[in-house]
């Protein structure tokens, strides 16, 4: 972990952390998101699962040796949580896969993100980066 600047949080609240593109980095992303959402009083639930899937993808599919990935969490006006995961593989952009066959161990991550998020997408650039993002409304009509 190189940098954490939640203490500099302006308005609206946001949290940014840069992590190594390793399984450990992905695990840290999930744990730090859990802690930050708890600090903000946001129910973690699906939001943390989205962070876990996007971080896992960043270190598996978006990894460039020696380059970190970045997790950002932002509370938008109206209580929407925006999750952003930026990696260094701007040349590979994920698309929603066909539904995974039952029992498949892979190819579920983005389906889960699409199911849990109100909106999600990919912002390309600035080169060589891209950002996969998702917006959720924690607690609204969910358990
Ligand atoms: N951050 C990423 N960078 C590049 N490709 C990605 C990224 N995230 C997902 N993908 C592509 O989208 C596919 C579907 O992702 P996902 O649903 O999480 O399935 P899985 O990770 O199990 O393959 C991946 O197999 C990969 O080809
Ligand atoms: Mg995945």
CB distance 57 to ligand 1 below 6 Å: yes
CB distance 52 to ligand 1 below 6 Å: no
For residue 125, the tally of other CB atoms under 10 A from its CB is 9
What is residue 18's three-state secondary structure? strand
* Interval 32-87: pLDDT, tens: 999 999 999 999 899 999 999 999 999 999 999 999 999 999 999 889 999 999 99
79-89 b/e (C-beta count within 10 Å ≥ 16 → b): eebbbbbbbbb
Q: Indicate which residue's Cα is closest to atom 20 of ligand 1.
A: 107
Instruction: Locate the domains of the chain by residue range.
Output: 3-136
Dihedral sign, Cα of residue 49, residue 108, residue 56, residue 8? negative
Nearest atom within ligand 1 for CA of residue 58: 1
- Distance in Å, CA 18 to ligand 1 centroid: 20
Residues 6+ away with beta carbon under 8 Å from 22: 59
Q: How far is CA 85 from the centre of its chain?
A: 4
* Interval 25-47: pLDDT, tens: 999 999 999 999 999 999 989 99
Burial of 101: CB neighbours in 10 Å, binned 0-12, 13-18, 19+: exposed
Asked if the model's pLDDT at residue 139 lies above 80, the reply is no
* Interval 95-106: pLDDT, tens: 876 766 777 777
CATH number (1.10.490.10, 3.40.50.720, 3.30.565.10, 3.40.30.20) of 3-136 reads 3.30.565.10
- Nearest bound ligand to the CA of residue 132: 1
CB distance 106 to ligand 1 below 6 Å: yes
């Amino acid at each position: 972990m190189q940098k954490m600047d939640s203490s500099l949080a302006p308005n609206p609240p946001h949290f940014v952390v840069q992590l190594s593109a390793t399984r450990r980095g992905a695990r840290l992303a999930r744990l730090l998101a859990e802690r930050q959402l708890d600090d903000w009083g946001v129910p973690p639930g699906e939001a943390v699962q989205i962070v876990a899937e996007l971080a896992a993808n960043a270190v598996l599919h978006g990894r460039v040796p020696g380059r970190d990935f970045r997790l950002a969490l932002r509370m938008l006006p109206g209580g929407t949580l925006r999750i952003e995961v930026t990696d260094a593989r701007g040349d590979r952009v994920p698309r929603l896969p066909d539904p995974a066959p039952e029992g498949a161990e892979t190819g579920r991550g983005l389906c889960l993100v699409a199911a849990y998020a109100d909106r999600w997408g990919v912002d390309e650039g600035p080169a060589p980066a891209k950002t996969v993002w998702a917006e959720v409304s924690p607690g609204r009509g969910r358990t």
